[in-house]
Structure 1
Amino acid sequence: MTGLFTFGETMGLVAADGIGPLPYARSFSFGIGGAESNVAVGVARLGGEATWLGRVGPDATGALIAERLGAAGVRTLAITDDSFTGLMVRHRRSAQFAQVDYHRAGSAGSRLSPADVPSAELSASGVVHVTGITPALSETARAAVFQSIETARAAGVPVSVDVNYRSKLWSRFDAAPVLRDLVSRADVVFASPEEAELFVDPQDVPAALAKLGPAEVIVKDGARGCTALIDGERHALPVLPVTVIDPVGAGDAFVAGYLADRLAGAPPADRLATAIAAGAFAVTVPGDCEGAPTRAELAALKGDDVRR
Protein backbone atom coordinates (compact mmCIF):
# COMPACT_ATOMS: atom_id res chain seq x y z
CA MET A 1 0.00 0.00 0.00
CA THR A 2 2.39 2.67 -1.23
CA GLY A 3 0.80 4.24 -4.29
CA LEU A 4 -1.58 7.04 -5.21
CA PHE A 5 -4.91 6.19 -6.81
CA THR A 6 -6.92 8.99 -8.37
CA PHE A 7 -9.67 9.39 -10.95
CA GLY A 8 -11.51 12.11 -12.81
CA GLU A 9 -11.72 13.85 -16.17
CA THR A 10 -8.62 14.64 -18.20
CA MET A 11 -9.18 16.77 -21.30
CA GLY A 12 -7.42 17.99 -24.36
CA LEU A 13 -5.91 21.44 -23.79
CA VAL A 14 -5.83 24.05 -26.55
CA ALA A 15 -3.62 26.89 -25.31
CA ALA A 16 -2.96 30.14 -27.10
CA ASP A 17 0.73 30.87 -27.34
CA GLY A 18 1.85 34.23 -26.02
CA ILE A 19 -0.13 36.79 -24.05
CA GLY A 20 -3.12 38.83 -25.21
CA PRO A 21 -6.79 38.60 -26.24
CA LEU A 22 -7.80 35.28 -27.80
CA PRO A 23 -9.01 36.83 -31.10
CA TYR A 24 -5.47 38.02 -31.78
CA ALA A 25 -3.72 34.71 -31.05
CA ARG A 26 -1.99 33.37 -34.13
CA SER A 27 -0.61 30.07 -32.82
CA PHE A 28 -1.75 27.42 -30.36
CA SER A 29 -0.31 24.46 -28.51
CA PHE A 30 -2.20 21.22 -27.88
CA GLY A 31 -1.70 19.15 -24.77
CA ILE A 32 -3.64 17.54 -21.95
CA GLY A 33 -4.82 18.70 -18.54
CA GLY A 34 -6.91 17.60 -15.60
CA ALA A 35 -6.43 18.22 -11.89
CA GLU A 36 -6.34 14.57 -10.89
CA SER A 37 -4.02 13.42 -13.67
CA ASN A 38 -1.77 16.44 -13.04
CA VAL A 39 -1.34 15.22 -9.46
CA ALA A 40 -0.66 11.67 -10.66
CA VAL A 41 2.05 12.91 -13.03
CA GLY A 42 3.56 15.02 -10.26
CA VAL A 43 3.72 12.07 -7.85
CA ALA A 44 5.24 9.82 -10.52
CA ARG A 45 7.89 12.39 -11.41
CA LEU A 46 8.85 12.58 -7.74
CA GLY A 47 9.44 8.83 -7.65
CA GLY A 48 6.09 7.63 -6.31
CA GLU A 49 3.67 5.08 -7.72
CA ALA A 50 0.59 6.66 -9.25
CA THR A 51 -2.53 5.33 -10.97
CA TRP A 52 -5.11 7.44 -12.82
CA LEU A 53 -8.52 6.19 -13.97
CA GLY A 54 -10.98 7.96 -16.21
CA ARG A 55 -13.17 7.80 -19.29
CA VAL A 56 -11.91 9.02 -22.66
CA GLY A 57 -13.52 9.19 -26.08
CA PRO A 58 -12.69 7.05 -29.14
CA ASP A 59 -10.74 9.94 -30.63
CA ALA A 60 -7.20 11.23 -31.04
CA THR A 61 -7.43 13.30 -27.85
CA GLY A 62 -8.37 10.25 -25.80
CA ALA A 63 -5.46 8.31 -27.28
CA LEU A 64 -3.11 11.22 -26.53
CA ILE A 65 -4.19 11.27 -22.89
CA ALA A 66 -3.40 7.59 -22.43
CA GLU A 67 -0.08 7.99 -24.25
CA ARG A 68 1.08 11.10 -22.36
CA LEU A 69 0.15 9.78 -18.91
CA GLY A 70 1.79 6.45 -19.59
CA ALA A 71 4.96 8.16 -20.81
CA ALA A 72 5.02 10.20 -17.60
CA GLY A 73 5.15 7.01 -15.55
CA VAL A 74 1.49 6.97 -14.50
CA ARG A 75 -0.32 3.65 -14.53
CA THR A 76 -3.26 4.60 -16.71
CA LEU A 77 -6.69 2.94 -16.62
CA ALA A 78 -8.41 4.69 -19.53
CA ILE A 79 -11.95 3.46 -20.15
CA THR A 80 -13.05 4.10 -23.75
CA ASP A 81 -16.47 5.70 -23.93
CA ASP A 82 -18.55 6.33 -27.07
CA SER A 83 -18.80 10.05 -26.27
CA PHE A 84 -16.13 12.64 -27.07
CA THR A 85 -13.11 13.53 -24.95
CA GLY A 86 -13.61 16.93 -23.34
CA LEU A 87 -11.61 20.00 -24.32
CA MET A 88 -10.56 23.21 -22.62
CA VAL A 89 -9.35 26.36 -24.35
CA ARG A 90 -6.99 28.62 -22.43
CA HIS A 91 -5.49 32.00 -23.14
CA ARG A 92 -3.61 34.53 -21.05
CA ARG A 93 -5.23 37.94 -21.32
CA SER A 94 -2.31 39.37 -19.36
CA ALA A 95 0.73 38.05 -17.55
CA GLN A 96 -1.36 37.79 -14.36
CA PHE A 97 -4.71 36.62 -15.71
CA ALA A 98 -5.55 33.38 -17.51
CA GLN A 99 -9.00 32.40 -18.79
CA VAL A 100 -10.21 28.85 -19.40
CA ASP A 101 -13.31 27.84 -21.35
CA TYR A 102 -14.64 24.28 -21.04
CA HIS A 103 -16.18 22.09 -23.71
CA ARG A 104 -17.10 19.10 -21.58
CA ALA A 105 -20.90 18.84 -21.14
CA GLY A 106 -21.82 15.26 -22.03
CA SER A 107 -18.17 14.30 -22.48
CA ALA A 108 -16.74 10.83 -21.90
CA GLY A 109 -15.22 11.98 -18.62
CA SER A 110 -18.55 13.25 -17.31
CA ARG A 111 -20.03 9.78 -17.77
CA LEU A 112 -17.86 8.26 -15.06
CA SER A 113 -19.93 6.04 -12.74
CA PRO A 114 -19.45 4.08 -9.52
CA ALA A 115 -19.10 0.85 -11.47
CA ASP A 116 -16.01 2.23 -13.22
CA VAL A 117 -13.90 2.41 -10.04
CA PRO A 118 -12.84 -1.08 -8.86
CA SER A 119 -12.95 -1.65 -5.12
CA ALA A 120 -9.74 -3.68 -5.35
CA GLU A 121 -7.85 -0.66 -6.70
CA LEU A 122 -9.10 1.56 -3.91
CA SER A 123 -8.36 -0.96 -1.17
CA ALA A 124 -4.81 -1.61 -2.40
CA SER A 125 -3.79 2.07 -2.54
CA GLY A 126 -1.60 4.08 -0.21
CA VAL A 127 -3.88 7.09 -0.61
CA VAL A 128 -7.00 7.80 -2.69
CA HIS A 129 -7.08 11.34 -4.06
CA VAL A 130 -10.21 13.06 -5.39
CA THR A 131 -11.19 16.65 -6.16
CA GLY A 132 -14.26 18.84 -5.98
CA ILE A 133 -14.28 19.01 -9.77
CA THR A 134 -15.55 15.50 -10.44
CA PRO A 135 -18.76 15.82 -8.37
CA ALA A 136 -19.68 18.85 -10.49
CA LEU A 137 -19.57 16.92 -13.77
CA SER A 138 -22.67 14.73 -13.40
CA GLU A 139 -24.76 12.81 -10.91
CA THR A 140 -23.01 9.55 -11.79
CA ALA A 141 -19.57 11.13 -11.42
CA ARG A 142 -20.58 12.53 -8.03
CA ALA A 143 -21.78 9.11 -6.95
CA ALA A 144 -18.47 7.59 -8.07
CA VAL A 145 -16.56 10.01 -5.84
CA PHE A 146 -18.60 9.43 -2.69
CA GLN A 147 -18.81 5.66 -3.13
CA SER A 148 -15.07 5.46 -3.69
CA ILE A 149 -14.39 7.47 -0.55
CA GLU A 150 -16.53 5.14 1.53
CA THR A 151 -14.82 2.07 0.02
CA ALA A 152 -11.39 3.48 0.76
CA ARG A 153 -12.32 4.43 4.34
CA ALA A 154 -13.74 0.98 4.98
CA ALA A 155 -10.42 -0.50 3.85
CA GLY A 156 -8.43 1.85 6.07
CA VAL A 157 -6.99 3.76 3.11
CA PRO A 158 -6.46 7.52 3.67
CA VAL A 159 -8.56 9.83 1.51
CA SER A 160 -7.17 13.08 0.12
CA VAL A 161 -9.46 15.84 -1.17
CA ASP A 162 -8.53 18.98 -3.10
CA VAL A 163 -11.57 21.27 -2.96
CA ASN A 164 -10.82 22.75 -6.41
CA TYR A 165 -14.03 24.77 -6.81
CA ARG A 166 -14.77 25.62 -10.45
CA SER A 167 -17.36 28.39 -10.86
CA LYS A 168 -17.89 27.52 -14.54
CA LEU A 169 -19.11 24.05 -13.57
CA TRP A 170 -21.55 24.90 -10.76
CA SER A 171 -22.73 27.75 -8.59
CA ARG A 172 -21.47 28.50 -5.10
CA PHE A 173 -24.93 27.63 -3.77
CA ASP A 174 -24.92 24.18 -5.38
CA ALA A 175 -21.28 23.46 -4.63
CA ALA A 176 -21.05 24.45 -0.96
CA PRO A 177 -22.96 21.57 0.67
CA VAL A 178 -21.35 18.96 -1.57
CA LEU A 179 -17.84 20.27 -0.95
CA ARG A 180 -18.48 20.44 2.79
CA ASP A 181 -19.67 16.83 2.75
CA LEU A 182 -16.60 15.83 0.74
CA VAL A 183 -14.22 17.49 3.19
CA SER A 184 -15.97 15.91 6.19
CA ARG A 185 -15.12 12.45 4.82
CA ALA A 186 -11.44 13.17 4.11
CA ASP A 187 -8.23 12.53 6.02
CA VAL A 188 -6.21 15.11 4.06
CA VAL A 189 -7.72 18.32 2.65
CA PHE A 190 -6.26 20.98 0.36
CA ALA A 191 -8.07 24.27 -0.27
CA SER A 192 -7.45 27.91 -1.01
CA PRO A 193 -8.87 30.43 1.49
CA GLU A 194 -11.50 31.47 -1.07
CA GLU A 195 -12.59 27.87 -1.67
CA ALA A 196 -12.80 27.08 2.03
CA GLU A 197 -14.87 30.18 2.70
CA LEU A 198 -17.64 28.69 0.58
CA PHE A 199 -18.60 26.51 3.53
CA VAL A 200 -16.57 27.36 6.67
CA ASP A 201 -15.89 30.39 8.87
CA PRO A 202 -13.15 32.52 7.23
CA GLN A 203 -11.70 33.71 10.56
CA ASP A 204 -9.44 30.67 11.00
CA VAL A 205 -9.68 28.54 7.88
CA PRO A 206 -7.34 25.68 8.93
CA ALA A 207 -9.15 25.22 12.25
CA ALA A 208 -12.57 25.50 10.64
CA LEU A 209 -11.73 22.82 8.08
CA ALA A 210 -10.22 20.58 10.74
CA LYS A 211 -13.45 20.77 12.75
CA LEU A 212 -15.17 18.97 9.88
CA GLY A 213 -12.99 15.91 10.46
CA PRO A 214 -9.73 15.81 8.46
CA ALA A 215 -6.54 15.38 10.50
CA GLU A 216 -4.42 17.12 7.86
CA VAL A 217 -5.57 20.51 6.53
CA ILE A 218 -3.37 22.41 4.07
CA VAL A 219 -4.40 25.86 2.90
CA LYS A 220 -2.80 26.86 -0.41
CA ASP A 221 -2.51 30.63 -0.49
CA GLY A 222 -0.71 31.42 -3.75
CA ALA A 223 2.06 33.98 -3.43
CA ARG A 224 1.60 33.97 0.36
CA GLY A 225 2.71 30.35 0.65
CA CYS A 226 0.73 27.92 2.76
CA THR A 227 -0.60 27.35 6.24
CA ALA A 228 -1.48 23.97 7.68
CA LEU A 229 -2.93 22.23 10.68
CA ILE A 230 -1.60 18.67 10.75
CA ASP A 231 -2.46 16.37 13.64
CA GLY A 232 -3.11 19.45 15.76
CA GLU A 233 0.20 21.18 14.94
CA ARG A 234 0.27 24.45 12.99
CA HIS A 235 2.71 25.13 10.16
CA ALA A 236 3.34 28.09 7.87
CA LEU A 237 5.74 28.25 4.93
CA PRO A 238 6.47 31.10 2.49
CA VAL A 239 6.84 30.61 -1.24
CA LEU A 240 10.23 30.23 -2.89
CA PRO A 241 11.31 33.23 -4.99
CA VAL A 242 11.07 32.26 -8.68
CA THR A 243 10.22 33.94 -11.98
CA VAL A 244 6.61 33.13 -12.86
CA ILE A 245 6.08 32.01 -16.45
CA ASP A 246 2.72 30.21 -16.15
CA PRO A 247 0.79 29.90 -12.85
CA VAL A 248 -1.53 27.15 -14.12
CA GLY A 249 -0.85 23.78 -12.54
CA ALA A 250 0.95 25.14 -9.47
CA GLY A 251 -1.76 23.96 -7.09
CA ASP A 252 -1.72 20.44 -8.50
CA ALA A 253 2.08 20.32 -8.29
CA PHE A 254 1.83 21.46 -4.66
CA VAL A 255 -0.61 18.64 -3.88
CA ALA A 256 1.60 16.12 -5.69
CA GLY A 257 4.63 17.20 -3.66
CA TYR A 258 2.81 16.81 -0.37
CA LEU A 259 1.28 13.44 -1.23
CA ALA A 260 4.50 12.04 -2.72
CA ASP A 261 6.32 12.78 0.53
CA ARG A 262 3.41 11.48 2.60
CA LEU A 263 3.51 8.20 0.70
CA ALA A 264 7.27 8.06 1.29
CA GLY A 265 6.76 8.44 5.04
CA ALA A 266 8.21 11.95 5.38
CA PRO A 267 7.23 14.10 8.38
CA PRO A 268 4.74 16.98 7.89
CA ALA A 269 7.36 19.75 7.71
CA ASP A 270 9.18 17.93 4.90
CA ARG A 271 5.94 17.26 3.03
CA LEU A 272 5.08 20.95 3.09
CA ALA A 273 8.58 21.99 2.01
CA THR A 274 8.41 19.62 -0.96
CA ALA A 275 4.92 20.89 -1.82
CA ILE A 276 6.12 24.51 -1.80
CA ALA A 277 9.14 23.64 -3.96
CA ALA A 278 7.05 21.63 -6.45
CA GLY A 279 4.54 24.46 -6.77
CA ALA A 280 7.35 26.98 -7.27
CA PHE A 281 8.95 24.85 -9.97
CA ALA A 282 5.63 24.43 -11.77
CA VAL A 283 5.14 28.17 -12.31
CA THR A 284 8.53 28.49 -14.00
CA VAL A 285 7.44 26.43 -17.03
CA PRO A 286 4.34 26.54 -19.29
CA GLY A 287 1.72 23.79 -19.30
CA ASP A 288 -0.49 21.95 -16.83
CA CYS A 289 1.74 18.98 -16.04
CA GLU A 290 4.46 18.76 -18.69
CA GLY A 291 7.01 20.44 -16.45
CA ALA A 292 6.30 18.45 -13.28
CA PRO A 293 9.67 18.32 -11.48
CA THR A 294 11.84 15.41 -10.45
CA ARG A 295 13.56 15.26 -7.08
CA ALA A 296 16.83 16.41 -8.67
CA GLU A 297 15.12 19.38 -10.31
CA LEU A 298 13.60 20.46 -7.01
CA ALA A 299 17.03 20.37 -5.42
CA ALA A 300 18.32 22.57 -8.24
CA LEU A 301 15.95 25.35 -7.17
CA LYS A 302 18.37 26.07 -4.36
CA GLY A 303 21.54 25.40 -6.33
CA ASP A 304 23.32 26.57 -9.46
CA ASP A 305 21.22 27.79 -12.39
CA VAL A 306 23.40 25.91 -14.89
CA ARG A 307 23.61 22.13 -14.76
CA ARG A 308 26.77 20.83 -16.48
Structure 2
Amino acid sequence: MKSMQKLPYTGWSLLIALGLSACGGGGDGSSNAPAPSATRLSASNYEDVSRAAAMAYQLSLSTNSITGGGLQMATAQAAVEPLRKALRVQARASNTQVLPCSGGGRMVVTFNDANNNGLSDAGDSAVVEAQACKEDGTTTNGRVQVSMGSTSGSPSFGNYSASFEASYSDFTVQEANGDRVRIHGRMLLSLNQSGSTANWSMQAQNWELSASYQGKTQSLLLNTRTEAQKVSNELRVVLGGNLSSSLVQGQTLTLSTPQTLLTVGTDDYPRSGQIVVRGSAGGTLRLSAISNTQVRLELDANDDGQFEINQVKNWSELD
Protein backbone atom coordinates (compact mmCIF):
# COMPACT_ATOMS: atom_id res chain seq x y z
CA MET A 1 0.00 0.00 0.00
CA LYS A 2 1.30 3.46 -0.88
CA SER A 3 1.84 5.79 2.01
CA MET A 4 -0.74 8.53 2.60
CA GLN A 5 0.52 12.07 2.02
CA LYS A 6 -0.75 15.49 3.03
CA LEU A 7 -1.94 17.81 0.28
CA PRO A 8 0.84 20.16 -0.89
CA TYR A 9 0.03 23.84 -1.10
CA THR A 10 -0.93 23.45 -4.74
CA GLY A 11 -4.06 21.92 -3.23
CA TRP A 12 -5.13 25.41 -2.17
CA SER A 13 -5.80 26.22 -5.81
CA LEU A 14 -8.18 23.28 -6.14
CA LEU A 15 -9.99 24.01 -2.90
CA ILE A 16 -10.55 27.71 -3.54
CA ALA A 17 -11.61 26.97 -7.11
CA LEU A 18 -14.19 24.54 -5.77
CA GLY A 19 -15.29 27.06 -3.21
CA LEU A 20 -15.72 29.84 -5.72
CA SER A 21 -17.41 27.94 -8.49
CA ALA A 22 -19.48 25.61 -6.46
CA CYS A 23 -20.62 27.45 -3.43
CA GLY A 24 -19.00 30.65 -2.15
CA GLY A 25 -18.69 32.13 1.32
CA GLY A 26 -17.56 35.46 2.87
CA GLY A 27 -16.59 38.01 5.41
CA ASP A 28 -18.33 37.75 8.73
CA GLY A 29 -21.22 35.83 7.18
CA SER A 30 -23.47 38.87 7.13
CA SER A 31 -25.46 39.76 4.04
CA ASN A 32 -26.19 43.10 2.46
CA ALA A 33 -29.42 41.80 0.95
CA PRO A 34 -32.78 42.97 2.33
CA ALA A 35 -34.33 40.75 4.97
CA PRO A 36 -36.43 38.05 3.24
CA SER A 37 -40.20 38.33 3.57
CA ALA A 38 -42.91 35.67 3.78
CA THR A 39 -44.53 34.36 0.63
CA ARG A 40 -47.35 32.01 -0.38
CA LEU A 41 -46.87 29.94 -3.51
CA SER A 42 -49.56 30.53 -6.11
CA ALA A 43 -50.43 30.22 -9.77
CA SER A 44 -48.94 33.67 -10.33
CA ASN A 45 -45.48 32.92 -8.97
CA TYR A 46 -44.85 29.16 -9.17
CA GLU A 47 -42.86 29.38 -12.41
CA ASP A 48 -40.48 31.95 -10.93
CA VAL A 49 -40.24 29.83 -7.78
CA SER A 50 -39.30 26.81 -9.90
CA ARG A 51 -36.57 28.86 -11.60
CA ALA A 52 -35.20 29.96 -8.24
CA ALA A 53 -35.10 26.34 -7.06
CA ALA A 54 -33.37 25.19 -10.24
CA MET A 55 -30.89 28.04 -9.88
CA ALA A 56 -30.05 26.96 -6.33
CA TYR A 57 -29.48 23.40 -7.52
CA GLN A 58 -27.28 24.43 -10.43
CA LEU A 59 -25.21 26.75 -8.24
CA SER A 60 -24.63 23.99 -5.71
CA LEU A 61 -22.84 21.95 -8.39
CA SER A 62 -21.56 24.41 -10.98
CA THR A 63 -17.87 24.14 -11.87
CA ASN A 64 -17.56 26.39 -14.89
CA SER A 65 -20.37 28.91 -14.87
CA ILE A 66 -23.06 30.58 -12.87
CA THR A 67 -26.39 29.58 -14.36
CA GLY A 68 -29.90 30.46 -13.38
CA GLY A 69 -32.94 32.52 -14.21
CA GLY A 70 -31.69 33.23 -17.72
CA LEU A 71 -28.18 34.15 -16.55
CA GLN A 72 -25.36 32.08 -18.03
CA MET A 73 -21.97 33.53 -17.15
CA ALA A 74 -18.39 32.34 -17.58
CA THR A 75 -17.41 34.92 -14.97
CA ALA A 76 -16.89 32.41 -12.18
CA GLN A 77 -14.36 30.46 -14.21
CA ALA A 78 -12.64 33.72 -15.14
CA ALA A 79 -12.33 34.50 -11.45
CA VAL A 80 -10.79 31.13 -10.66
CA GLU A 81 -7.84 31.67 -13.00
CA PRO A 82 -6.20 34.63 -11.17
CA LEU A 83 -6.78 32.80 -7.88
CA ARG A 84 -5.01 29.74 -9.23
CA LYS A 85 -2.16 31.93 -10.36
CA ALA A 86 -1.95 33.57 -6.95
CA LEU A 87 -1.98 30.25 -5.12
CA ARG A 88 0.95 28.78 -7.02
CA VAL A 89 3.16 30.71 -4.59
CA GLN A 90 5.08 28.35 -2.30
CA ALA A 91 4.08 28.84 1.33
CA ARG A 92 6.32 29.39 4.29
CA ALA A 93 5.38 29.87 7.95
CA SER A 94 4.22 33.40 7.23
CA ASN A 95 4.47 34.47 3.61
CA THR A 96 2.91 37.43 1.82
CA GLN A 97 3.36 37.83 -1.90
CA VAL A 98 2.24 40.71 -4.11
CA LEU A 99 1.56 39.45 -7.62
CA PRO A 100 0.99 41.89 -10.49
CA CYS A 101 -1.85 41.10 -12.88
CA SER A 102 -1.19 41.12 -16.61
CA GLY A 103 -3.62 43.97 -17.32
CA GLY A 104 -2.96 46.02 -14.18
CA GLY A 105 -3.81 45.77 -10.52
CA ARG A 106 -2.53 43.02 -8.26
CA MET A 107 -3.24 40.01 -6.08
CA VAL A 108 -1.98 40.06 -2.50
CA VAL A 109 -1.61 36.49 -1.24
CA THR A 110 -0.89 35.64 2.39
CA PHE A 111 -0.29 32.12 3.66
CA ASN A 112 -0.14 31.03 7.26
CA ASP A 113 1.53 27.64 7.58
CA ALA A 114 0.68 27.05 11.24
CA ASN A 115 3.22 24.29 11.85
CA ASN A 116 5.76 25.43 9.23
CA ASN A 117 5.85 22.09 7.41
CA GLY A 118 5.20 23.38 3.89
CA LEU A 119 1.99 21.37 3.59
CA SER A 120 -1.67 22.39 3.79
CA ASP A 121 -3.04 20.80 6.94
CA ALA A 122 -5.24 21.58 9.94
CA GLY A 123 -4.92 25.14 11.18
CA ASP A 124 -3.37 26.56 8.02
CA SER A 125 -4.99 29.43 6.15
CA ALA A 126 -4.67 31.50 3.01
CA VAL A 127 -5.99 34.96 2.14
CA VAL A 128 -6.24 36.35 -1.39
CA GLU A 129 -7.00 40.04 -1.85
CA ALA A 130 -7.76 41.09 -5.41
CA GLN A 131 -7.09 44.77 -5.98
CA ALA A 132 -8.40 45.80 -9.42
CA CYS A 133 -6.72 42.71 -10.86
CA LYS A 134 -7.18 42.64 -14.63
CA GLU A 135 -6.63 39.37 -16.50
CA ASP A 136 -7.84 38.74 -20.06
CA GLY A 137 -10.34 41.60 -19.90
CA THR A 138 -11.78 40.55 -16.53
CA THR A 139 -11.40 42.74 -13.42
CA THR A 140 -11.47 41.13 -9.98
CA ASN A 141 -11.82 42.83 -6.59
CA GLY A 142 -12.47 41.60 -3.09
CA ARG A 143 -11.17 39.18 -0.51
CA VAL A 144 -11.23 35.41 -0.09
CA GLN A 145 -10.02 33.62 3.03
CA VAL A 146 -9.70 29.84 3.25
CA SER A 147 -8.99 27.97 6.49
CA MET A 148 -8.09 24.28 6.48
CA GLY A 149 -9.87 21.94 8.86
CA SER A 150 -8.14 18.69 7.97
CA THR A 151 -6.45 16.89 5.09
CA SER A 152 -5.25 13.38 4.44
CA GLY A 153 -4.13 11.39 1.45
CA SER A 154 -3.34 12.71 -2.00
CA PRO A 155 -5.42 13.25 -5.16
CA SER A 156 -2.51 11.67 -7.06
CA PHE A 157 -3.27 8.36 -5.36
CA GLY A 158 -7.05 8.65 -5.74
CA ASN A 159 -7.65 8.51 -2.00
CA TYR A 160 -7.90 11.74 -0.05
CA SER A 161 -10.08 13.85 2.19
CA ALA A 162 -10.14 17.51 3.12
CA SER A 163 -12.33 20.00 4.91
CA PHE A 164 -12.14 23.77 4.84
CA GLU A 165 -14.02 27.00 5.37
CA ALA A 166 -14.12 29.76 2.74
CA SER A 167 -15.18 33.33 3.41
CA TYR A 168 -15.83 35.81 0.60
CA SER A 169 -16.01 39.54 1.25
CA ASP A 170 -17.54 41.58 -1.57
CA PHE A 171 -15.75 39.43 -4.12
CA THR A 172 -16.61 40.84 -7.54
CA VAL A 173 -15.67 39.85 -11.05
CA GLN A 174 -16.53 42.10 -13.98
CA GLU A 175 -16.00 41.41 -17.66
CA ALA A 176 -15.14 44.09 -20.19
CA ASN A 177 -18.69 44.04 -21.59
CA GLY A 178 -20.13 44.95 -18.18
CA ASP A 179 -21.27 41.48 -17.11
CA ARG A 180 -20.66 41.23 -13.39
CA VAL A 181 -20.97 38.81 -10.49
CA ARG A 182 -20.62 39.49 -6.77
CA ILE A 183 -20.18 36.87 -4.04
CA HIS A 184 -20.42 37.50 -0.31
CA GLY A 185 -20.86 35.02 2.50
CA ARG A 186 -19.45 31.85 4.01
CA MET A 187 -19.14 28.25 2.89
CA LEU A 188 -18.05 25.03 4.60
CA LEU A 189 -16.88 22.19 2.38
CA SER A 190 -15.73 18.64 3.05
CA LEU A 191 -14.41 16.28 0.38
CA ASN A 192 -13.69 12.57 0.49
CA GLN A 193 -12.55 10.39 -2.38
CA SER A 194 -11.78 6.69 -2.42
CA GLY A 195 -11.04 5.24 -5.81
CA SER A 196 -13.89 6.05 -8.20
CA THR A 197 -16.24 7.18 -5.41
CA ALA A 198 -16.28 10.82 -4.32
CA ASN A 199 -18.44 12.34 -1.59
CA TRP A 200 -18.73 15.98 -0.68
CA SER A 201 -20.80 18.18 1.57
CA MET A 202 -21.26 21.93 1.14
CA GLN A 203 -22.97 24.27 3.57
CA ALA A 204 -23.75 27.83 2.48
CA GLN A 205 -24.23 30.35 5.27
CA ASN A 206 -25.74 33.70 4.27
CA TRP A 207 -24.21 33.17 0.87
CA GLU A 208 -25.22 35.97 -1.46
CA LEU A 209 -24.81 36.03 -5.21
CA SER A 210 -25.77 38.91 -7.44
CA ALA A 211 -25.20 38.75 -11.17
CA SER A 212 -25.67 41.13 -14.07
CA TYR A 213 -25.72 39.72 -17.58
CA GLN A 214 -26.69 41.55 -20.77
CA GLY A 215 -28.54 44.19 -18.78
CA LYS A 216 -30.37 41.72 -16.50
CA THR A 217 -29.63 41.67 -12.78
CA GLN A 218 -30.63 38.91 -10.40
CA SER A 219 -29.69 37.94 -6.85
CA LEU A 220 -29.87 34.88 -4.65
CA LEU A 221 -29.33 34.40 -0.91
CA LEU A 222 -28.69 30.82 0.26
CA ASN A 223 -28.62 29.09 3.61
CA THR A 224 -28.47 25.55 2.30
CA ARG A 225 -26.67 22.24 2.65
CA THR A 226 -25.77 20.01 -0.27
CA GLU A 227 -24.74 16.35 0.03
CA ALA A 228 -23.42 14.76 -3.14
CA GLN A 229 -21.89 11.48 -4.20
CA LYS A 230 -20.31 10.62 -7.52
CA VAL A 231 -19.69 6.98 -8.42
CA SER A 232 -18.25 6.44 -11.88
CA ASN A 233 -20.47 8.60 -14.15
CA GLU A 234 -23.46 8.88 -11.79
CA LEU A 235 -23.95 11.92 -9.57
CA ARG A 236 -26.50 11.83 -6.73
CA VAL A 237 -27.46 15.02 -4.89
CA VAL A 238 -29.56 15.92 -1.87
CA LEU A 239 -30.19 19.65 -1.29
CA GLY A 240 -32.02 21.35 1.56
CA GLY A 241 -32.37 24.66 3.38
CA ASN A 242 -33.67 28.16 2.76
CA LEU A 243 -33.28 30.62 -0.07
CA SER A 244 -34.54 33.98 -1.20
CA SER A 245 -34.28 35.33 -4.71
CA SER A 246 -34.99 38.46 -6.70
CA LEU A 247 -37.05 36.16 -8.95
CA VAL A 248 -39.64 36.12 -6.14
CA GLN A 249 -38.97 39.63 -4.80
CA GLY A 250 -36.59 38.41 -2.11
CA GLN A 251 -39.21 36.24 -0.42
CA THR A 252 -38.30 33.18 1.65
CA LEU A 253 -38.51 29.63 0.25
CA THR A 254 -37.65 26.28 1.85
CA LEU A 255 -36.07 23.53 -0.25
CA SER A 256 -35.93 19.77 0.27
CA THR A 257 -35.21 16.74 -1.91
CA PRO A 258 -37.38 13.80 -0.76
CA GLN A 259 -36.11 11.87 -3.78
CA THR A 260 -32.39 12.02 -4.53
CA LEU A 261 -31.52 13.84 -7.75
CA LEU A 262 -29.59 11.69 -10.23
CA THR A 263 -27.50 13.07 -13.09
CA VAL A 264 -25.62 10.74 -15.44
CA GLY A 265 -22.53 11.40 -17.52
CA THR A 266 -22.46 14.77 -19.23
CA ASP A 267 -26.19 15.44 -18.78
CA ASP A 268 -26.97 19.03 -17.83
CA TYR A 269 -30.03 18.13 -15.77
CA PRO A 270 -31.23 15.35 -13.43
CA ARG A 271 -32.99 12.39 -15.04
CA SER A 272 -34.70 11.35 -11.81
CA GLY A 273 -35.41 12.76 -8.35
CA GLN A 274 -37.58 15.48 -6.86
CA ILE A 275 -37.24 18.94 -5.32
CA VAL A 276 -40.00 20.25 -3.04
CA VAL A 277 -40.34 23.99 -2.40
CA ARG A 278 -42.52 25.47 0.34
CA GLY A 279 -43.45 29.09 0.81
CA SER A 280 -43.02 30.55 4.28
CA ALA A 281 -46.67 31.64 4.20
CA GLY A 282 -47.92 28.41 2.61
CA GLY A 283 -48.14 26.55 -0.66
CA THR A 284 -46.09 23.62 -1.99
CA LEU A 285 -44.38 23.16 -5.35
CA ARG A 286 -42.92 19.86 -6.57
CA LEU A 287 -40.32 19.62 -9.32
CA SER A 288 -40.09 15.98 -10.42
CA ALA A 289 -37.53 14.95 -13.02
CA ILE A 290 -39.13 13.00 -15.86
CA SER A 291 -35.91 12.71 -17.85
CA ASN A 292 -32.69 14.62 -18.37
CA THR A 293 -34.63 17.04 -20.58
CA GLN A 294 -38.05 17.37 -18.91
CA VAL A 295 -39.43 18.16 -15.46
CA ARG A 296 -42.97 18.08 -14.03
CA LEU A 297 -44.15 21.09 -11.98
CA GLU A 298 -47.01 20.50 -9.51
CA LEU A 299 -48.52 23.26 -7.38
CA ASP A 300 -50.62 22.78 -4.24
CA ALA A 301 -51.38 26.41 -3.42
CA ASN A 302 -53.60 25.86 -0.36
CA ASP A 303 -51.82 22.79 1.08
CA ASP A 304 -54.88 20.54 0.89
CA GLY A 305 -53.01 17.70 -0.79
CA GLN A 306 -54.53 18.47 -4.20
CA PHE A 307 -52.30 19.81 -6.97
CA GLU A 308 -54.17 22.50 -8.87
CA ILE A 309 -51.44 22.81 -11.51
CA ASN A 310 -49.66 19.91 -13.18
CA GLN A 311 -47.38 21.01 -15.99
CA VAL A 312 -44.47 19.49 -17.91
CA LYS A 313 -41.62 21.77 -18.95
CA ASN A 314 -38.19 21.39 -20.44
CA TRP A 315 -35.46 21.74 -17.83
CA SER A 316 -33.87 24.37 -20.07
CA GLU A 317 -36.94 26.60 -19.61
CA LEU A 318 -35.94 26.99 -15.95
CA ASP A 319 -32.48 28.37 -16.82
- TM-score w.r.t. length of structure 2: 0.31
Q: Which has the larger radius of gyration?
A: 2
- TM-score w.r.t. length of structure 1: 0.32
Q: Judging by fraction of residues, say which structure has more helix.
A: 1
